């Protein structure tokens, strides 16, 4: 029967942090009806809020650079404001 410190090191190897970095987008509702400068369709745009965030184990721990904009639902062009 073999015993010793092997269990301890195996446990240490299994430890990890679920660390995420990304852009969070939140859908706020309907925006204005606009004519898109890129695809030239006149549609109702979507209003969005976007912010950069860092998560640890899926929990946001930092959020910054928040901005609001509207997005063309056809080609994805965004206009700030
Ligand atoms: Zn467009």
Q: How far is the CA of 69 from the centre of ligand 1 (A)?
A: 14
* Opening angle at CA 62, ends 22 and 77, nearest 5: 40
Record the pTM.
Answer: 0.64
Instruction: Say whether 69 sits in a helix, a strand or coil.
Output: strand
- CA distances, 24 to each of 42, 55, 66, 69 (Å): 27, 11, 9, 13
Residue 67: its pLDDT value, please? 95
Please identify every residue whose CB atom is under 5 Å from ligand 1, which is an ion: 36, 38-39, 72, 74-75, 77
- Give per-residue pLDDT as tens, 22-78: 999 999 999 999 999 999 999 999 999 999 999 998 899 999 999 999 999 999 999
Listed by start position, the domains of the chain span 19-64
Instruction: Identify the CA nearest to 18 among candidates 58, 49, 66.
Output: 58
Q: How far is the CA of 21 from the centre of ligand 1 (A)?
A: 28
Q: How far is the CA of 77 from the centre of ligand 1 (A)?
A: 5
């Amino acid at each position: 029967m073999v015993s010793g410190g092997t269990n301890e090191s195996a446990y240490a190897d299994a430890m990890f942090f679920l660390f995420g970095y990304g852009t969070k987008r939140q859908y706020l509702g309907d925006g204005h009806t606009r004519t898109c400068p890129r695809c030239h369709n006149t549609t109702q745009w979507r209003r969005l809020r976007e912010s950069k965030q860092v998560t640890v184990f899926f929990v946001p721990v930092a959020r910054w650079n928040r901005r609001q904009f509207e997005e063309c639902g056809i080609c994805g062009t965004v206009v700030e404001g």
